[in-house]
């Protein structure tokens, strides 16, 4: 969430920054915001004047009573002022609620270094690692290869519908090995603390990281409401779409001490996404699923350290792909392709021979103070001043897409898959997955 004082001080600059995001519709109704602000100021000024008048009248009433004079007219005026103040307070509460609702719908402002553009075509490639493999046989995609390794899309669809996958045998073992490898790498070499978080969270938790209210249609909602028994309704709850939500909110409404920053957290969790805004995309295989696993990285830093942390986190995700011997590229997302809460984002795109294309496998973002302001997550600096922290998140990486990339990049002509050296300890020393 943006600082409302920023809008009050320099509304034109905020609007100009929001226009960099190239949205067809304005994110902010400027006329409505200005009207609400004008009314807010008018009510606050009137309330101050009314209170000053009430104070003066109270003194006059005391003096009149001391002299034995009739104070009924003064008392009536005080009563009228009280009613006016109550009405003003009620209207002010309505205005503040509408302003808050407006703020919750405004995305973060893009960092100055973010390339301008309307969509992914304006993304800028930063670097590449590795070269796509030259096969001496026609490479197959993971759907064709996976059938022999235990990827069962038919059973997944039977159990849960489209975009769910059932895994057995070699595929299930590989999936588990990948998650364990990533957690060990991030905790042992990158300094993250491993966490295990709830998979169901309350509405305000999703508001804290920015999934609500804007992206409610992309979440799985689990709250069922009152059962008619007269019992109090349960809180509105959702399945997490990423453990970023629970990891980042672990510092909500807290004041961290200087020695606690930077905070680095990682977790392996399932992620649940209805993908309401992605209908018809990537329906084949495991690229876009309603349920998938991910190893997430979150950092909580001071404002001064957050962009250094962003580069560091991109490197941590890259280390996963390098150890798995997977060619990839890093791209800086344009203003029109960035997420709602991000000020700057790097995507890591892994090469998939089955598609003949680079596809996203990790997204690393600096949200600056956008989430922290929603969560009221703060830290005390060395001088003792309490300031909002900066929060960053990144996939380290998506387990299902890593499985797809390993199968496709390390496939062999007979349908077997060579196991990258980094994964062999997690598979009992196995060097090849056989169909």
DSSP secondary structure letters along 140-163: --HHHHHHHHTEEHHHHHHHH-TT
Strand order in the sheet with 328-332: 124-129, 328-332, 344-352, 357-366, 390-398, 291-301, 263-272, 193-195
> Pairing relation of β-strands 166-167 and 193-195?
unpaired
Distance CA 302, CA 258 (A): 9
| Set 194, 360, 418, 424: catalytic member | 360
Q: Pick the catalytic residue: 20, 273, 373, 378? A: 273
Helices (H), 211-342: 244-249, 306-323
Q: Cβ distance 315 to 186 under 8 Å?
A: no
If you write DSSP's letter for every residue of 334-393 in order, what string do you get?
PTTTS-TT-SEEEEEEEEETTTTEEEEEEEEEE-TTHHHHHHT-EEE-TTS-EEE-EEEE
φ, ψ for residue 253 (rounded to 5)? 55, 30
Specify the 3-state DSSP secondary structure of 397: strand
Nearest to 310 by CA among 323, 319, 301: 301
- Dist CA 192 CA 185 (whole Å): 9
What CA–CA distances, in Å, run from 188 to 266, 364, 399, 407? 12, 20, 19, 26
Is 273 marked active-site?
yes
Q: Of 338, 218, 336, which is closest to residue 279 (Cα–Cα)?
A: 218
* 281 has catalytic annotation: no
257: exposed, middle or buried (Cβ count in 10 Å: 0-12, 13-18, 19+):
exposed
Q: Are 8 and 322 in contact (CB under 8 A)?
A: no
Q: Among the options 53, 288, 323, 329, which is catalytic? A: 288
Measured CA to CA in angstroms, residue 317 lies from 323, 326, 348 at distances of: 10, 12, 8
CB 206 within 8 A of CB 238: yes
Candidates 363, 365, 395, 416; catalytic one = 363
Annotated active-site residue in 54, 163, 173, 401:
401
Between CA 127 and CA 124 the distance in angstroms is: 9
> Does the annotation mark 288 as catalytic?
yes
Q: Quick check: is 401 catalytic?
A: yes
Question: Is the Cβ–Cβ distance between 357 and 386 less than 8 Å?
Answer: no
Give the active site residues. 273, 288, 360, 363, 401
């Amino acid at each position: 969430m943006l600082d409302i004082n920023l809008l009050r001080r320099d509304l034109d600059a905020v609007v100009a920054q929001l226009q960099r995001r190239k949205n067809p519709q304005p994110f902010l109704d400027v006329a409505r915001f200005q009207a609400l602000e004008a009314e807010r100021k008018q009510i606050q000024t009137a309330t101050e004047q009314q209170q000053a008048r009430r104070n003066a009248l109270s003194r006059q009433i005391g003096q009149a009573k001391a002299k034995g004079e009739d104070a009924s007219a003064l008392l009536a005026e005080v009563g009228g002022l009280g009613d006016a103040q109550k009405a003003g307070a009620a209207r002010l509460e309505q205005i503040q609620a509408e302003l808050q609702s407006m703020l919750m719908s405004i995305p973060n402002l893009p960092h100055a270094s973010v390339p301008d553009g309307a969509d992914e075509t304006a993304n800028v490639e930063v670097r590449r690692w590795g070269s796509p493999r030259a096969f001496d046989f026609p490479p197959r995609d993971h759907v064709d290869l996976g059938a022999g390794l235990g990827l069962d899309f038919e059973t997944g669809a039977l159990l849960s519908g489209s975009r769910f996958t059932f895994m057995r045998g070699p595929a299930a073992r590989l999936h588990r090995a990948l998650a364990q490898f990533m957690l060990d790498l991030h905790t042992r070499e990158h300094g993250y603390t491993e966490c295990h978080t709830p998979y169901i969270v309350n509405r305000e938790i999703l508001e804290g990281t920015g999934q609500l209210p804007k992206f409610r249609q992309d979440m799985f909602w689990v709250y069922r409401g009152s059962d008619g028994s007269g019992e109090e309704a349960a809180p509105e709850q959702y399945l997490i779409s990423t453990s970023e939500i629970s990891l980042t909110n672990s510092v909500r409404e807290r004041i961290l001490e200087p020695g606690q920053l930077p905070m680095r957290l990682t977790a392996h969790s399932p992620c649940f996404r209805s993908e309401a805004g992605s209908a018809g995309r990537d329906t084949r295989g495991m690229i876009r699923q309603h349920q998938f696993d991910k190893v997430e990285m979150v950092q909580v830093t001071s404002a001064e350290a957050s962009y250094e942390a962003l580069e560091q986190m991109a490197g941590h995700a890259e280390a996963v792909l390098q150890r798995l011997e997977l060619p990839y590229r890093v791209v800086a997302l344009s203003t029109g392709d960035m997420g709602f809460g991000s000020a700057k984002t790097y995507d890591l795109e892994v090469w998939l021979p089955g598609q003949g294309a680079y596809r996203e496998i990790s997204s690393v973002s600096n949200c600056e103070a956008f989430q922290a302001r929603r969560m009221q997550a703060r830290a005390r600096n060395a001088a003792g001043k309490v300031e909002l922290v900066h929060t960053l998140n990144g996939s380290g990486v998506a387990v299902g897409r890593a499985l797809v990339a390993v199968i496709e990049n390390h496939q062999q002509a007979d349908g077997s898959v060579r196991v990258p050296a980094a994964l062999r300890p997690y598979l009992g020393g196995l060097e090849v997955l056989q169909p």
